[in-house]
Copies of this chain bind each other. A is one copy, B any other.
Amino acid sequence: MTKITIKDVALRAGVSVKTVSRVINNEVNVRAEMQEKVKKAVNELGFRRNPLARALRNQQTSILSLLYSNPNPGYILEVQNGIQAQCDLDNYNLQILPCDHNDEHFFEKIESLLQRSSTDGVLLIEPLCDMPEVIDLLDKYKLPYALISPTTSEPKAPFARSNDEQASYQMTEYLISQGHKDIAFIMGDPSHGDSHQRLKGYQNALAENNIAVDDTFFEQGYFTFESGEISARRLLSLKNRPSAIFASNDYMAAAVLKVAAQKQIKVPQELSIVGYDDTPVSKQIWPALTTVRQPIRDIASHATKKLIAQLNKCSFDEVKTLFECQLVVRESTSIWASD
């Protein structure tokens, strides 16, 4: 049994190949009678058009690529799902191009990935979407791209992102509203733009509420559990212990929880802990973490939408760009009765 082509269908239906093509592509100006004949032949033969030939002829593959280098599985998977959802709507396929931005042959690697991939466009996430060298490479290859949650202030390319600074501000305000004044902050990896946005939101909230900044309450972390542990150990050994700790992501918050447990500090009675990202782990520990949920899926979908719009040379100005985060209050925070 050999592959069925349009030619076979045309022969069977007694029409020209072009007419068959017209019917399968829902073009106008085909008589209903012809439509019937063709559709019948298609069904009888079980014809399926070859996406490859179509791609070659149309000079578009209908494949988008997600280029990433990021060890946070939950995040990447949400991104993948978001992109895929939009791809489903517009009949695109998603190819993934994992790479490692710490690899010494990083650029050659993604260059070879891009070469053999024949993609219509690329989606970038942190930290790649903030790396000028990566952007330059895509420009060099004349590949359209969109950025998912970039942190550069005015990206040149279409993008979608959440309002991290505002969410961080709200989270801090929430802690203050619970009576906390001594709020420590564990910052994320300083090479990620997010880290700075989250810090800014925290600082603004303190300033707004006339709470003086205590330098001993600031810790530099790196988004890892281990870095969180180190920071937590320091913070919880202070003479004047903070009543609340705001960790820049859930992994570090989980580490704070661990140290607190080891030191027999009751959470949330004696210490409130909040994280960021609403990672699965935030629900799998006890007490469950109060955290911030980003609409990652939505962000990814919308970035994809913009990319596809660009490919079709449609305008994408009206597509949403900035997304609100959501405070998720769980069990790791409580009211602080100051003495």
Residues of A with Cβ closer than 8 Å to B? 48, 50-53, 55-56, 61-63, 73-74, 76-77, 80-81, 84, 91, 93-96, 98, 115-118, 225, 251, 254-255, 257-258, 261-262, 280-281, 283-286
Contacts of A255 in B (CB 8 A): 284
Contact of A98 among B84, B98, B257 (CB under 8 A): B84
- Report Cα–Cα, A53/B57, bound state, in Å: 9
**Are the CB atoms of A80 and B95 closer together than 8 Å?**
no
Nearest-CB distance from A263 to chain B (Å)?
11
Which of B50, B51, B73, B254 contacts A285, CB < 8 Å?
B254
A-B pairs with beta carbons under 8 Å apart, 30 shown? A51-B115, A51-B116, A51-B117, A52-B55, A52-B56, A56-B56, A62-B116, A63-B95, A73-B74, A73-B77, A73-B280, A76-B77, A77-B77, A80-B96, A84-B96, A84-B98, A91-B116, A93-B95, A93-B116, A94-B95, A95-B95, A95-B96, A96-B96, A225-B283, A261-B261, A262-B286, A280-B281, A281-B284, A281-B285, A284-B285
Cβ contact within 8 Å between B117 and A93: yes
Quick one: given A98-B84, A225-B283, A286-B257, are A53 and B56 in contact (CB under 8 Å)? yes
Cα distance A17–B142 in the bound complex, in angstroms? 26
Q: How far is the CA of A221 from the CA of B262 in the complex (A)?
A: 29
Q: Which residues of B contact A81 (CB under 8 A)?
A: 98
B76 touches A115 (CB 8 A): no
A43–B28 CA distance with the chains assembled, in angstroms: 45
B94–A96 contact, CB under 8 A?
Answer: yes
CA–CA, A261 and B258, complex, Å: 12
Check if B56 sits within 8 Å of A251, measured CB to CB: no
